[in-house]
Structure 1
Amino acid sequence: MADPVSSPTAETWPPPLPDASGFVAPPVPGLGGALGGFAGACARDPAGALRVIARSLWLLAIAAVCVPAHSLHRRLGIPSPWARRFLGWSARACGISVRSIGQPVSRNVFYIANHLSWTDALILGGQTGTVFVAQDGIAIWPGLAFICRLNDTIFVNRSDRMGVPAQIAAMRTQFMRHSRIAMFPEATCSDGRRLLPFKAPLFAMLIPPPPGATLQPVVIDCDEAGRNLAWVGMETGAANAWRLLSRPGTWEVRVHFLEPFSPADLPDRKALSARARTAIAAKLSETLGGRAVA
């Protein structure tokens, strides 16, 4: 299957994203449909299928170690390192080599990052142990929803304006429990060659901020192979997972932890959003060789 985003050229920067206007995600297939789709993909790409199977077995082995250990820690009421280990090891199983640059704030922090794919949770979670804010559409996928709930993911429905106070309360509760929350304020995936507008309402829980809270901008900086694996356009999650797991070799991600700042220093959520976006855009431009990032 061809990559949905072609490599950039000198003439066109950034290359256009695939047109996703009017796209409606297909329903989650039943077991029979999923097995049929998997069998068809295997027939079309036998070599890729072997890599998908090998990496899937690796992921299952990681889960077999981490999930029981994590559950035991939960029952005993003691902090568990196993969710972070699961995410970090899973990133490696998916063929991702992750390197941190800069110092992540370890407590009372909101990480604000750019967004390329579902793998961002593996990458950033494995480096920091953070919990995530995610769209509730993810919750319809049984396996993915199970993993998200293990890590206390906060699901939000951005179209439910009446439910915003309850969602903010849930975020504050999880912040008190974990002291680390990550948000992707583009609210959708891009390709690592640009930065989409930030959704300022996502910053509502920081007005006023919890006592002592810090906001730290983060740039997820993939190599060209990683940018071409971004989950964009009309590609389904299953198709993107197949492309990623069937790919030979590894690809590199550098996670840049930028200068943190106090959200208490800014007057409102729009100012918070603008300051975080400016910092991320500047670093992303730097990683792209100085190309402008709007």
Structure 2
Amino acid sequence: MSAWLPTAPCTPQLCAPRSQDTRRGTVAAGARLLAGLCAVVLGILLLPLAALFEAGLRDRLTRGWTRTVIRFFGVRVRVEGATPAPTPDAIPAPAPEAHGGVLVVANHISWLDIPLVATLFPGRLLAKSDIRRWPVIGTVAELGGTLFVERDRLRALPGTVRDIRDALRAGSRVIVFPEGSTWCGRDQGRFTAAVFQAALDAGVAVRPVRIGYRPLGPAAFVGDDPLAVSLWRTVLARGLTAEIKVLPLIPAGRHPDRRSLARAAQRAVAQTAPARTALPQTALAHTAVASDSANRPASSVHQCANSIPARASSERTLS
């Protein structure tokens, strides 16, 4: 465990209390879970075939798959800030991006965040390096172009930043959750700054995205929450709605260093958040861990490296 890894005060007991009023029946929930898992498995099986297609078709297939997964798990989606005007029953196409790559950054609440962002912005995710060693999932992640970061090795950070920069320069979208931790949505973690150096070095814009859920608790994937428990809580929740707000691009060159760029992206996301409900003062901060066991507050599947001094370019100061 490294002292510089992010922390979050969220736990399932505090953030995801059970409510009988919002629960669907066990049989219906079981059907949702089975349908969602089948959709996930089908997408995994077809991934090697999809990798052979040209980028535009591959993106459309990815959007179709992630929309199907989300709907089968019983989650409705509402989108703001995209065109055409969103409706509760349809996920619109995202606003057009500028030529070249773009760094997409979002707050992080749940494992659902990943397919949600992919419905609008298919791209290359940043994941902790442990994922590469996971059976099946590691292979799928590599086939999907996932970029990996060794969270507990600060000296490996410059190489990660260079990989992100190169992907952005090549015209890829790179999706990052720069809080470096899953939060329950009642509050938000600080955006760590290292990945924003890659956007500066590549000369690309940053696209902030705000993710929220109503009701808030069932989707939160925090603390010592096992994935199986989180999946079951999600399918049990009747009327669970994901709300995505696509925020204006932060153009390349508007901010001189990664820290100011990270703060600008964080402010954009925070300003669109609903009124916060403070967590109890007795909540214990949970330190991020880099393991492939149950998800913990700062060990969600897709993680961002922590920030470091922001004076020079990543080529000089991140070594």
TM-score, normalised to structure 1, is 0.72
Shift of 1:293: 8.7
> C-alpha distance in 1, partners of 2:70/2:121?
13
Point out the more displaced range, 250-259 or 186-195: 250-259
**1:84 maps onto 2:63 in alignment:** yes
The alpha-carbon deviation at position 153 of structure 1 amounts to 1.5
Instruction: Name 1:93's counterpart in structure 2.
Output: 72
Say if 2:148 is the partner of 1:155.
yes
8 Å Cα contact 1:96/1:252 also seen in 2? yes
- Give the stretch that moved more between structures: 126-135 or 267-276: 126-135
1:112–1:61 distance in 2 versus 1, CA, 3 Å: closer
**Pair 291,146 (structure 1): closer, same or farther in 2 beyond 3 Å:** same
Distance apart, 1:79 and its partner CA: 5.5
1:264 counterpart SS class: coil
**What's the offset of the Cα at 1:179?**
2.6
Q: In structure 1, what is the equivalent of residue 211 of structure 2?
A: 220
CA shift, 1:59, in A, is 3.2
State the one-letter code of the partner of 2:119. G
Shift in Å at residue 160 of structure 1?
1.6
- Counterpart of 1:127 (choices 120, 125, 130) is 120
Counterpart among 226, 237, 255 of residue 266 in structure 1:
255
The CA deviation at 1:151 is 2.7
The one-character-per-residue Cα deviations of 1:23-58 (angstroms, maximum 9, x if unpaired) are xxxxxxxxxxxxxxxxxxxxxx77754543343234
Gaps of 5+ in 2: 1-11, 18-25, 83-94, 280-319
- Listed as ranges, the gaps of 5+ residues in structure 1 are 8-44
Q: Does 1:57 align with 2:38?
A: yes
CA offset at residue 155 of structure 1?
Answer: 1.4
> Using the alignment, how far apart are the partners of 2:220 and 2:268 within structure 1?
22
**SS at structure 2 position matched to 1:159:** coil
Matched, 1:236 2:226: yes
Q: Following the alignment from structure 1 to structure 2, what is the Cα–Cα distance between the partners of residues 293 and 114?
A: 17
Secondary structure at the counterpart of residue 76 of structure 2 = strand
Which structure has more relative contact order (CA 8 Å, sep 6+)? It is: 2
Q: 1:177 to 1:84 in 2, by over 3 A?
A: farther
Aligned residues: 246
Distance 1:89 1:48, change over 3 A: closer
CA contact (8 A) 1:124 1:130 kept: no
The answer to whether residue 106 in structure 2 is matched with residue 106 in structure 1 is no
Counterpart CA distance in 2 for 1:250 and 1:63 is: 27
Post-superposition Cα deviations, 1:115-163, rounded to whole Å, max 9, x if no partner, equal 0112111000111212211222333433433443343121111222221
Residues 204 and 269 of structure 1 are in contact (CA less than 8 Å); yes or no, is this contact kept in structure 2? yes
**What SS class does the counterpart of residue 51 from structure 2 fall into?**
helix
- Aligned partner letter, 1:73: F
User: Which amino acid counterpart does residue 180 of structure 1 have in structure 2?
Assistant: R
Q: Residue 308 of structure 2 corresponds to which residue in structure 1?
A: none
Closer/same/farther in 2, CA of residues 173 and 94 from structure 1, 3 Å limit? farther
- Following superposition, the deviation at residue 257 of structure 1 comes to 0.9
Structure 1 runs (4+) deviating above 6 angstroms are none
Mark the CA change 1:258 to 1:162 in structure 2 (over 3 Å): closer, same or farther.
same
What is the CA-CA distance between 1:60 and the residue it aligns to? 3.1
- Equivalent positions of 1:1-294 (< 5 A) are 4=13, 5-6=15-16, 48-64=29-45, 66-67=46-47, 69-73=49-53, 80-81=58-59, 82-103=61-82, 104-107=95-98, 108-208=101-201, 210-211=202-203, 213-224=204-215, 226-244=216-234, 246-247=235-236, 249-284=238-273, 288=274, 290-291=275-276
Q: What is the RMSD of the two structures over their aligned residues, measured on CA atoms?
A: 3.0
* Distance change >3 Å, CA 259–CA 151, structure 1 → 2: same
